[in-house]
Structure 1
Amino acid sequence: MSAIPEADPRIPVTVLTGFLGAGKTTLLNHVLTANHGQKIAVIVNEYGEVGIDNQLVVGADEEIFEMNNGCICCTVRGDLVRILNDLMDAKLGKSSGRTADFDRVLIETTGLADPAPVAQTFFLDEEIANSFKLDAIVTVVDAKHAEQHLDDGHEAQEQVAFADVLLVNKTDLVTEEELQKLEHRLHMMNPAAKLYRTHQSNIDIDRILGIGAFDLDKKLELDPDFLEEEDHDHDDEVMSVFFREERPLDLEKVERFLQAWLVEHGMDTFRYKGVLNIKGVKQRVVFQGIHMLFSSYPDRAWKQDEPRRSEFVVIGRNLDENWFAEQFAGCVAG
C-alpha cells in the first residue's frame, strides 16, 4: 500500500488582477463578505503617497495590508516580500507588534500591473516559497471595454496570458454575440484558463480559491481537443501552443530542449506547464515556469488506467510553433 502524501503546510495565495475598472475591487468585496468560513489576509496595491502598513480588520476575519508606492511590479522585491514575511511572523507569533490568524492570502494588484513579477516572487524568494504557495492567478475582464484594452496595451494581454481563471465581467453591458467573440479571443490567447461569465464580479468562491491551478498539485487539467479546436484568427501578439506526444521522452534530450527554449524564448514566454512521460521513470514529471524561471519535479506514479503521454501548453508572445514542435519531437527516446 502506498503512503498517503502529506498535506502541503504552506499558505495558499491567490493573485487577483485585471485592467482598470474591470471589477477587481467588487470581486474582493464579494470574497470578503461571502460565507466561506475562511480567514483571509488581503494585500491591496494602490497608487498614492499616503497609505497604511498596519492591520485593518474587516468583519473581524480579514487582515488588510496596503502597499502604497505605486505599481506592485516595482515593489515586489520590497513591500510584497516584506509584508508576506511580516504576515507569517505575525501568524507564528514571532512579531512583537501584532498577531494575525489567517488561512490564505489574497493579493489585489493595481490595474496597470504585469502579474509576472508577483508570481515570480514565489519562485525566487526561498523564504517566501517555503511559507507560501501560489494557488492561482485570477484575472477579471471588462466585457464592455476588453477589446480596446487588449488592442491598446501589453498589460491587459499579459494579465490574460498569465491567468489560471478568467472572469468575463459586466456581461449585462454587451450582447451575446459580443460575448462570444470576446470569449473566443480570450480562449485563443489562453486556452488553459478556466473561463466564467460574471455579473458584478459575483462568482462561487470555490471556483477561484483553493483550486490548486498554479501549483499543479493535482492532475494537469488540460482538454487537448478543446485546446486544438480552432486556428488562431486574431492579431494578438499573445498566443498559445499545445503539444502531445504518445511516445516516452528522453530526459537528457528534454533538458537540452528546455535550456535552448529558455535562451531563445524565455522573455517572450509568459506561462508554461505540462506533464511528461519520461522513459524509465515510473512517475509523471510535472514542469511549469514563468519567463526564465523553471521548475520540474516527479509527481505521483502513473495510474494503470490512464494513458502515459506527455502534454504541455506554452503561452507567450510571438512564439514559433514549428520550432517548438520540432524540438519537442526531437525529445522522443530512442
Structure 2
Amino acid sequence: MAQKIPATVVTGFLGAGKTTLIRHMLQNAGGRRIALIINEFGDLGVDGDILKGCGDETCTEDDVMELSNGCICCTVAEDFIPTMQKLLARPDKPDHIVIETSGLALPQPLVRAFNWPEISTQVTVDGVVTVVDAKAVTEGRFAHNVAAVDAQRKLDENLDHETPLSELFDDQIACADMIVVNKSDLLGAAEADTLVSKLKSTSRDGVQVVKSTMGALPVDVLLGQGIGAEADLDARGEVHHHHHDDHDDDHGEEDHHHHHDHDHDDFESFVVTLGEIDDPAAFSEQIADVIRAHDILRLKGFAAVTGKPMRLTLQAVGPRIDTYFDAPFGAMPRQTRLVVIGQAGLDQAAIEAALKT
C-alpha cells in the first residue's frame, strides 16, 4: 500500500503570524514539493496572493488552492473534500500538504475530515500547528487587534458572536501538536519563558512549545511530526462546544513589528558522532532520556549496529522515536551520526556526553 501523504494543519488567530510562518517554510523547503490549501474568508484572497508570490520552485502557483467559501469546517463535503481529491488525483503528487485555516476556524472538525473515506487512505495529518501572538497572549488579548478579529466575525451571520476569544483560543491549544509562540522577541526573556511554561502546562502531554520570531522555524521542526492526528481525536476534543465553528481570515497577517531577517537564530543544530552500538532498543531509550532532559525538538540520523550490515535509521520527534534498517553501509564508515535540533541554548557538551555514556 502506498505511503500516505502527510498534511500539516496551521491554525491561529488573525495576526499571529501563520502566513509569515508558511512563507518562511516555502522559502526553506529544501526541495520538498509542498501544496497549500488556504482557507480564505471574504472576497479578497490576500493570503493566497502573498503565498503564490513566494517564488520558490517547490511551490508553484498551481500548488496553491484557495477555499473561497470561508470556514473549512462548515463546508467539508462540498468544498474541502473535493479540493483534496483534486490535489491527490494529480500525477505530480506533493510531498507534503499544508492547510492554513482561517483565524477563527476550529481545527478539530478539519482533522476529523481526514477520516472521510474519499481521502483517508491517501493522506494523514502529520501534525496540527497552532501559532500564537506571544505579546497579545501575555497581555490577555489573544490577538494583536481584537477589534479586527471581531469585525471579521460579525461579517458572518452563522457565527456565535458572543463566544469569548479565550474559549476559541483554548480549543486551538487543545488540538495542537506544536504551539509556536511567535513574536517572542517582543517579550523579555523571562516573560517569554513564563508563557512557554504556561502553555506547556495547559496543553496535552507531548505537545511541543517553541518560540519563534517572524515565523522562522526550521522546516525539519515544523514538518515530519508523524502524529496521525485524525486517529487521536478523543485526546484533542473541543474544550468548548460551539453550534458553529468560527472563522475569519488573516488579511493583514504580516507581523506588526520590525521586518528584518532572523533566519534561525532562535534554533540550533549540531552533529554527534559515535561508534557502533550493541542494543538498538536500549540506545533508543537512552536517546529518549536525553531528549527529555534537554528539551530537544528533533533528533535524526543513522546508527551502526554491531553485526548488522544495514544502517539503522533513527528519527525522533520529542521523545517519540522511530527506527528501521534502510540500506547497507557499503563504503560508508560504520559509525553512528545523529543530528540534534532544538531551541538556541542547547548544552551541546552535556548532550554529547549523555549520548556517549
Residue number among 136, 142, 156 corresponding to 1:149 in the alignment: 142
Deviations 1:119-155 (A, max 9, x none): 00112x0121111011100111110112322974322
Q: Counterpart of 1:86 in structure 2: which amino acid?
A: K
Q: Report the equivalent of 1:78.
A: 78
Deviations 1:89-142 (A, max 9, x none): 123xxxxxxxx442110000111110001100112x012111101110011111
Residue number among 176, 181, 186 corresponding to 2:194 in the alignment: 181
Question: Greater RCO between the two (CA within 8 Å, min separation 6)?
Answer: 2
Q: Is the 8 A contact 1:48 1:68 kept in 2?
A: yes
Query: Within 5 Å, which residues of 2 pair with 1:43-54?
Result: 43-49=37-43
**Residues 1:61 and 2:55 are matched in the alignment:** no
SS of aligned partner of 2:42: coil
Distance, in Å, in 2 between the alignment partners of 1:205 and 1:157 is 26
SS of aligned partner of 1:111: coil
SS of aligned partner of 1:127: coil
Deviations 1:11-65 (A, max 9, x none): 1101011111110000110111114110011000111136699xx6853422000
Change (3 A) 1:185 1:199: same
Most deviating of 175-184 and 102-111: 175-184
**Residues 1:172 and 2:185 are matched in the alignment:** yes
Change (3 A) 1:304 1:50: closer
SS of aligned partner of 1:149: coil
Deviations 1:250-293 (A, max 9, x none): xxxxxxxxxxx99xx976599xxxxxxxxxxxxxxxxxxxxxxx
Q: Report the equivalent of 2:330.
A: none
Q: Is the 8 A contact 2:111 2:230 kept in 1?
A: no
* Offset of residue 214 of structure 1: 3.3
Q: Is the 8 A contact 1:115 1:162 kept in 2?
A: yes
Change (3 A) 1:126 1:183: same
Distance, in Å, in 2 between the alignment partners of 1:51 and 1:216 is 28
Q: Is the 8 A contact 2:200 2:208 kept in 1?
A: no
Change (3 A) 1:121 1:199: same
**Residues 1:120 and 2:115 are matched in the alignment:** no
Distance, in Å, in 2 between the alignment partners of 1:103 and 1:130 is 16
**Residues 1:15 and 2:9 are matched in the alignment:** yes
Q: Counterpart of 1:71 in structure 2: which amino acid?
A: C
Q: Counterpart of 1:27 in structure 2: which amino acid?
A: L
* Offset of residue 216 of structure 1: 10
Q: Is the 8 A contact 1:11 1:131 kept in 2?
A: yes
* Offset of residue 175 of structure 1: 1.6
SS of aligned partner of 1:130: coil
Q: Counterpart of 1:149 in structure 2: which amino acid?
A: F
Distance, in Å, in 2 between the alignment partners of 1:184 and 1:85 is 40
Aligned residues: 216
Runs of 4+ in structure 1 deviating by more than 4 angstroms, as ranges, are 50-53, 265-270, 303-307
Deviations 1:63-91 (A, max 9, x none): 00001111222222321111000111123
- Identity among equivalent positions (%) equals 34
**Residues 1:106 and 2:98 are matched in the alignment:** yes
**Residues 1:199 and 2:208 are matched in the alignment:** no
Q: Counterpart of 2:201 in structure 1: which amino acid?
A: M
Q: TM-score, normalised by structure 1?
A: 0.57
Distance, in Å, in 2 between the alignment partners of 1:266 and 1:34 is 33
Q: Report the equivalent of 1:329.
A: none
Distance, in Å, in 2 between the alignment partners of 1:175 and 1:266 is 33
Q: TM-score, normalised by structure 2?
A: 0.54
Q: Is the 8 A contact 2:171 2:240 kept in 1?
A: no
Distance, in Å, in 2 between the alignment partners of 1:163 and 1:110 is 15
SS of aligned partner of 2:118: helix
Distance, in Å, in 2 between the alignment partners of 1:113 and 1:81 is 16
Query: Within 5 Å, which residues of 2 pair with 1:155-304?
Result: 155-190=168-203, 191-214=205-228, 268=239
Distance, in Å, in 2 between the alignment partners of 1:186 and 1:109 is 21
Q: Report the equivalent of 2:127.
A: 136
**Residues 1:41 and 2:35 are matched in the alignment:** yes
Distance, in Å, in 2 between the alignment partners of 1:45 and 1:267 is 20
* Offset of residue 180 of structure 1: 2.4
SS of aligned partner of 2:97: strand
Distance, in Å, in 2 between the alignment partners of 1:187 and 1:207 is 17
Which structure 1 residue ranges, 5 or more long, are not aligned?
Answer: 1-5, 92-99, 221-260, 271-302, 308-334
Distance, in Å, in 2 between the alignment partners of 1:50 and 1:200 is 23
Q: Counterpart of 1:61 in structure 2: which amino acid?
A: T
Change (3 A) 1:82 1:184: same
Q: Counterpart of 1:208 in structure 2: which amino acid?
A: L
